[in-house]
Amino acid sequence: MSRLSAVRPAYWISGVLLVVAVVVPLLVPTYAKADPHLWGFPFFYWYQLMWVFLSAILVSISYRLLRAEERRRRAAQGLGDPEAADAADAPVKEGDQ
């Protein structure tokens, strides 16, 4: 079995989402025009601003996919939840008691 076939779909999906979030805003011919206007703003401006929000959403989806995959992988190996271990190891402050 090759290493490529061992890669989980969550990693592929996350990679595609991140590539879309980075590459599409760099494709200048897609937004190098003034029309159509939205609330008085030329297409050039609102299209780029739209990609700021879309990229944040795509990165968030990618993060959640990878976090869920990592939890599944750790559970399958019997390592437990890393966030629960971090909370248990955190020092207790005087005001937190």
Task: Show pLDDT as tens, one digit a residue, over the chain (97 residues).
Answer: 455 556 678 888 888 889 988 998 888 887 777 778 778 878 788 888 889 999 999 999 999 988 888 888 788 777 766 666 556 556 666 666 5
Q: Does residue 35 fall inside a structural domain?
A: yes
* DSSP reduced 3-state for 64: helix
Q: Which residues 6+ apart lie within 8 Å of 18 measured at CB?
A: 58, 59, 62
Q: Does residue 94 fall inside a structural domain?
A: no
Q: Does residue 23 fall inside a structural domain?
A: yes
Q: Does residue 95 fall inside a structural domain?
A: no
* pTM of the shown model: 0.67
Counting the structural domains of the chain, the total is 1
Q: Tell me which residue range forms the domain holding 43.
A: 4-83
Q: Does residue 45 fall inside a structural domain?
A: yes
DSSP state for residue 90 in the 8-state scheme: S
d(CA 23, CA 5): 26
